[in-house]
């Protein structure tokens, strides 16, 4: 069975991107995948600093997070848009777990050969779309296969019901398509 990881690039408690990642994980389970949702807020790390790394190696939470990435066939990232890019929280986490920490560790072991699907929710009209462009580029540059279908949901503060489901049928179909594509791609790559 395909194992998928779901996370958001936001630490905010009531984040709409967390809601998107959680809802996507329920869709994946209904489609037959094993889904794990994590909150990056539970993996606090210092800002990446090469001198810090040289002195202390990787933070314990970076090692834990890297192991979680390695244990999954694919990843769904719901990324908020910060000034037309992705969040510093997400960037820092992705940077830390890209670093080797074991002797003879293969480069980018947490990423190579993984499938990733991207989504974003924003209160604005573009739905966080601008932030997905640099995230897609970065992930592609570190050996990740980013699936073609991405989800950008506008008017995000009105888009989820009290149970955490998307209220708009078209947005739900778009998310289901992205999740199905992630399952198919991750299965083919594993």
Beta bridge partners of 158: none
Residue 164 has pLDDT above 90, yes or no: no
- CA–chain centroid gap for 51, Å, is 27
Contacts 24+ apart (CB under 8 A), 130-137: 130/81, 130/84, 130/85, 131/79, 131/80, 131/81, 131/82, 131/84, 131/85, 131/86, 131/87, 132/79, 132/81, 132/86, 134/85, 134/86, 135/77, 135/79, 135/85, 135/86, 135/90
Residue ranges and CATH numbers for the domains of the chain are: 3-189 (3.40.50.360)
What SS3 state is found at 152?
strand
Q: And the tokens for 72? A: 């999954």
pLDDT digits (tens, 9 = 90+) for 103-144: 999 999 999 999 999 999 988 877 888 999 999 999 999 999
Q: What is the mean pLDDT of residues 154-163?
A: 84
Q: Which residue has the tokens 């979680």?
A: 68
pLDDT of residue 57: 92
Asked if residues 35 and 136 have their Cβ atoms less than 8 Å apart, the reply is no
């Amino acid at each position: 069975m395909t194992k998928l990881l779901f996370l958001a690039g936001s630490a905010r408690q009531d984040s709409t991107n967390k809601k998107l990642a959680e809802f996507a994980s329920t869709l994946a389970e209904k489609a037959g995948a094993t889904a794990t949702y994590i909150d990056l807020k539970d993996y606090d790390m210092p800002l990446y600093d090469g001198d810090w790394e040289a002195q202390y190696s990787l933070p314990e939470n970076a090692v834990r997070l890297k192991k979680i990435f390695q244990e999954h066939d694919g990843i769904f990232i719901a990324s908020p848009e910060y000034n037309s890019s992705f969040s510093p929280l997400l960037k820092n986490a992705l940077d830390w777990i890209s670093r080797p920490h074991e002797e003879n560790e293969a480069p980018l072991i947490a990423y190579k050969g993984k499938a990733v699907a991207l989504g974003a929710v924003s209160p604005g009209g573009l739905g966080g779309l601008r932030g997905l462009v640099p995230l897609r580029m970065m992930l592609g540059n570190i050996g990740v296969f980013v699936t073609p279908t991405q989800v950008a949901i506008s008017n995000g503060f009105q888009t989820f019901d009290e149970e955490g489901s998307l209220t708009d049928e078209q947005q739900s179909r778009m998310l289901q398509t992205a999740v199905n594509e992630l399952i198919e791609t991750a299965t083919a790559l594993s």
